[in-house]
Amino acid sequence: MATLKWLNRTERAVAALLSATVLFLLIVAASHAGALWRDECNSIQLARMSNLAEVRENYPFESFPVLFPIILRGFTDLFGTSDTALRTFGCVVGVTLLVVAWWNARVFQTVPLLFPPLIGLNTIFLVWGITVRGYGLGTALIALGLGLAVNALLRPGIKSFIALAIGWLAAVQVLYFNLMLVAAFAAGTIAAFLWRRQPKYALVVAIIAAVCATSYAPYFRMYAGIDWNVVVKLPVTLASVWERLTVACGEPTRWSLVLYLFLFAAALLGALAGLIWLAKAQTTDGAELCLAIISCVLAPIGFYFFLHQLSYAPKVWYFLALFAVVAAAMELIASVLSRIVWVRFLRLVIVVGILVVFPFAGWRQLHRPHTNIDTVAQKLRQEAKPNDLIVVNPWSVGVSFNWYYHGKTPWVTVPEIAEHRSHRYDMYKAKMMEPFPLDDLEEAIRATLRLGNRVWLAGNVDILPPGKSPLSPLAAPDPEFGWRQSVYRTAWSQQLGRFLREHVSQLSVVLRPTLNVHGEENLLILVAEGWHD
């Protein structure tokens, strides 16, 4: 008895220390994240559009269902759109994840020992989950979705099912990936109710899942007529998904993947053993194990199916919601198996090890900004004259430049795109289909320099050595490169570099890239002066 009391106190203390550590790291990450990068600016500029017509025109270029921009607009109406306010939004998302962890643990009749370190101490969440995007909030809501399912399973009733419906709907309306994960929850919950011989409750869960699926009908209609996504589609294979998954699991240390796989296998095998034992005992207890097992098995399958159908190159932050499902399910399984004392001791040892290693391993990652676009915009606002010209390369950075630059100097992107509040891939595709897509840009540069003004280049320009020709794909789809937009982006940068080398008298570096910036939005500034034919 004394041993159990000591174990209970130790688990509570470690759980509290874990949450405090996650909260501390959230504050560190948010305070060093810096300015918003282009995808964040896409979300905030869409959320802040002045009328419904603009939102409707630009909405297909957003990556999240309708609830996320509504939440973002409400937050900014209350707290403003400063970087500090929006980084605080990320912290609020992180705190929400911790609140969900404790609420789920209460439902599971345990303390949160596995979920906070596996998600909250993973640098993918600490870096990308707290950006002004829907991935972090969607991760918290899908974890809550499992807790609500267990709550409905253990305490079926009107209030539990209403909460389940609201929670699942919120999860799928913040993050598209969550629909497949909710489907896994629904299958597991239905199976669990059937295990307990409660088919009427299984029917209720099926109806809630059907409502969630039906809520996607407007999105299916909206995206059905889209033809511009051919420029971003890539073949998604099991190998490519696994490669990105291992990168996401390999944070903050290269041993993280081994740990995650071990815990996943141990939890699944333990749950299967427990379920088999309960089946032999001919009892309906332990239905939550059935829910956890089915969720762990079906969630990755459904998630891969979604990525395969989407056909976008998987990003590491795509996997956060899947991680949350698996980690929450492992927490549930561990709570059921914690009746075995040595299981509790083993869990505690593993968690303490994670708590000791993970924060130090990921510490440097948390001190890196996402972009230097604010510094670039400020520099150009100070030094560029109204009759000069600013050229931003590549065009996608124009979204964040549009958010931060408020000077009087006209600016264009490579290639010229008319709209910069969102990533207008339809306009980009149209440029790819033009035979001479840089003619208007080169003419603007020529006219500016001939009048004795300067051209400021924000971004990387590929100036090839003499004698080496730039890529020159034909109007898309090119016979060799097809619709590969990365090839066209590289080609246009090289073609612009050749144009500058052949006609500009002087090209100087004004600002160099910032050290240790996440991602690819780390710009330099060049200034071009003088013209010769």
pLDDT for 448-475, tens place per residue?
A: 999 999 999 999 888 888 888 898 999 9
pLDDT on residue 98:
96
Same-domain pairing of 386 and 293:
no
Q: How big is the chain, counted in residues?
A: 533
Residue 59 and residue 222 in contact, taking contact as beta carbons nearer than 8 Å:
yes
Can you spell out the DSSP letters for 202-271?
HHHHHHHHHHHHHTTHHHHHHHHT--GGGGTB----HHHHHHHHHHHHT-SSTTHHHHHHHHHHHHHHHH
Which of 312, 338, 367 is the last residue before a domain boundary? 367
In a domain, 85, yes or no: yes
Inform me whether the pLDDT recorded for 282 exceeds 70.
no
Same-domain pairing of 152 and 101:
yes
Inform me whether the pLDDT recorded for 287 exceeds 90.
no
Residue 253 confidence class, pLDDT cut points 50, 70, 90: confident
Residue 37 confidence class, pLDDT cut points 50, 70, 90: very high
pLDDT on residue 251:
78
In a domain, 388, yes or no: yes
Which of 306, 338, 367 is the last residue before a domain boundary? 367
Inform me whether the pLDDT recorded for 176 exceeds 80.
yes
**Is the pLDDT higher at 224 or at 165?**
165
In a domain, 118, yes or no: yes
CA distance 485 to 414: 13
In a domain, 497, yes or no: yes
Same-domain pairing of 104 and 68:
yes
Same-domain pairing of 347 and 388:
no
> Which segment of 7-21, 169-183, 215-229 scores lowest on mean pLDDT?
215-229
Per DSSP, the three-state class of 527 is: strand
In a domain, 223, yes or no: no
pLDDT on residue 284:
66
pLDDT on residue 19:
95
Question: Is the peptide bond between 435 and the residue preceding it cis, with omega within 30 degrees of 0?
Answer: no
In a domain, 77, yes or no: yes
Same-domain pairing of 254 and 119:
yes
In a domain, 4, yes or no: no
pLDDT on residue 224:
80
Q: What percent of the chain has pLDDT over 70?
A: 99
Same-domain pairing of 398 and 296:
no
Residue 401 and residue 458 in contact, taking contact as beta carbons nearer than 8 Å:
yes
pLDDT on residue 435:
92
Mean pLDDT to the nearest integer, 84-105: 96
Can you spell out the DSSP letters for 426-463?
HHHHHHHTSSSTTHHHHHHHHHHHHTT--EEEEE----
Inform me whether the pLDDT recorded for 279 exceeds 80.
no
Please name the helix (run of DSSP H) or strand (run of DSSP E) that holds residue 186, with its range, or none.
Answer: helix 178-195
Same-domain pairing of 308 and 401:
no
Same-domain pairing of 346 and 458:
no
Same-domain pairing of 358 and 377:
no
Which range, 198-202, 242-246, 511-515, is most confident? Answer: 198-202
User: What is the pTM (predicted TM-score) of this model?
Assistant: 0.93
Residue 398 and residue 468 in contact, taking contact as beta carbons nearer than 8 Å:
no
Which of 351, 367, 383 is the last residue before a domain boundary? 367
Inform me whether the pLDDT recorded for 283 exceeds 70.
no
Inform me whether the pLDDT recorded for 250 exceeds 90.
no
Q: Is the torsion defined by CA of 479, 485, 487, 489 positive or negative?
A: positive
Residue 348, C-beta contacts closer than 8 angstroms, at least 6 positions apart? 7, 10, 11, 14, 113
Please name the helix (run of DSSP H) or strand (run of DSSP E) that holds residue 506, with its range, or none.
Answer: strand 504-511
CA distance 203 to 303: 24
Inform me whether the pLDDT recorded for 379 exceeds 90.
yes
Inform me whether the pLDDT recorded for 301 exceeds 80.
yes
Inform me whether the pLDDT recorded for 393 exceeds 90.
yes
Residue 113, C-beta contacts closer than 8 angstroms, at least 6 positions apart? 11, 14, 15, 18, 331, 334, 347, 348, 351
pLDDT on residue 1:
64
Total number of domains in the chain? 2
Same-domain pairing of 439 and 490:
yes
Query: What domain range includes position 151?
Result: 23-216+234-367
Residue 6 confidence class, pLDDT cut points 50, 70, 90: confident
In a domain, 282, yes or no: yes
Same-domain pairing of 174 and 94:
yes
Question: What six digits make up the tokens of 152?
Answer: 């409905």
pLDDT on residue 164:
97
Write down the mean pLDDT value for the chain. Answer: 91
Same-domain pairing of 429 and 306:
no
Residue-wise pLDDT for 125-161, tens only, equals: 999 999 999 999 999 999 999 999 999 999 999 999 9
